[in-house]
Amino acid sequence: MHFCILAAVLAGHALQTTAIAVSGAAEGFAKGVTGGGSASPVYPTTNDQLVQYLGDTTPRVIVLQKTFDFTGTEGTTSTSGCAPWGTASNCQVAINQNNWCKNYEPNAPTTSVTYDNAGVLGITVNSKKTILGQGSSGVIKGKGLRIVSGASNIIIQNIAISNINPHYVWGGDAITIDGADMVWIDHVKTSLIGRQHIVAGESADNRITISNCEIDGSSSWSATCDGHHYWALYFTGSNDLITLKGNYIHHTSGRSPKVSGNTVLHAVNNYWYANSGHAFEVGTGASIVAEGNAFQNVVSPIDAGTSGGQIFTAPTTSANAVCAANLGHTCQVNAFGSSGAFNSMGSTGFLSNFKGKNVASAAPASGVVASVTKNAGVGKV
């Protein structure tokens, strides 16, 4: 009997002391990020511990070994919202945040909403933090992460974030970045999110790399009422530098991503699949290079109605040689299957925005589908 108890204690101890470390290194604009560095790992067991470790000022490596479920922990709110996209059971409705319904959808029918308060505002993540999931067990449910107000040097790897008021627009974001720097999001899966899966807000975020992530837009509620989430990736910061590489972005219907606000975006070797609307929305100030990506069953890789920004879509090998002087390589042609046109907008002069910066490498699009489906998401490091 005593032997069994001792064995159980030792097994539990071994689980926590098994060596765990960041896998690989950030490519692209966030190259060199170190997160919590060599800090001894900590293993939160409660929601309160997780919040404390993420929000304090101590450099930390925080290992997630379980699901941290925040649903219901802060109560619910019942109030009036609106239904801009109809009242069918598969349509999202909107929380009237900051009087949004009145200001932007004044003719939409009103409806009652009851949402989980925990989802509306994410957990604060302070500087010098590494957040690692162990195996496939690191999950945050019902609440996202919030990296703001000067936070820097943060690594988020191999975790899942899910179930943030998926019925409701303005129900909450999975990862919010606003006024931060040197952030690497890698092998993260987001699903069933009310608003944005990843948002870089209006304040300057400087250097961000998002790699090998799965942005899963499948949902029973969407703004397009078709099971494809509309609000996916929203990059509207001031002079942000964002690398988007090796990600699997699927079952969305728009804004995957929306880019504006003088954001420089390098979208390389990503796989867009089953988008019922548009992928790129190119707003004022956007500077985008999209190369070596694969689009399958994407109705509109780019929203033809957008304007004011610039995007180079790497149309042919000969045209792509223009990249070399600024990105350090000839851009890779994109690949398409059952998808719409993907045309460049603006001149190529904006490519100088990439010169002298850490630019991710690019592989041919022919291998992207196999590579991304094998490697992107949680539990694959």
Query: Which residues are known to be catalytic?
Result: 255
Strand 110-116 versus strand 76-82 pairing type? antiparallel
Contact 381, 160 (CB under 8 A): no
Strand partners, 123: 145
Structure tokens at 302: 């780019």
Ramachandran angles phi, psi of 269, nearest 5°: 60, 35
Collapsing DSSP to helix, strand or coil, 292 comes out as coil
Whole-number Å distance between alpha carbons of 311 and 299? 18
| Cα separation, 358 vs 226, whole angstroms | 39
Burial 267-293 (b: 16+ CB within 10 A, else e): bbbbbbbbbbbbbbbbbebbbbbbbbb
**Residue from 133, 234, 132, 130 nearest 176 by CA:** 234
Q: Strand pairing of 207-211 and 241-245?
A: parallel
Q: Give the count of beta carbons closer than 10 Å to the beta carbon of residue 122.
A: 23
Q: Which residues pair with 308 in a beta bridge?
A: none
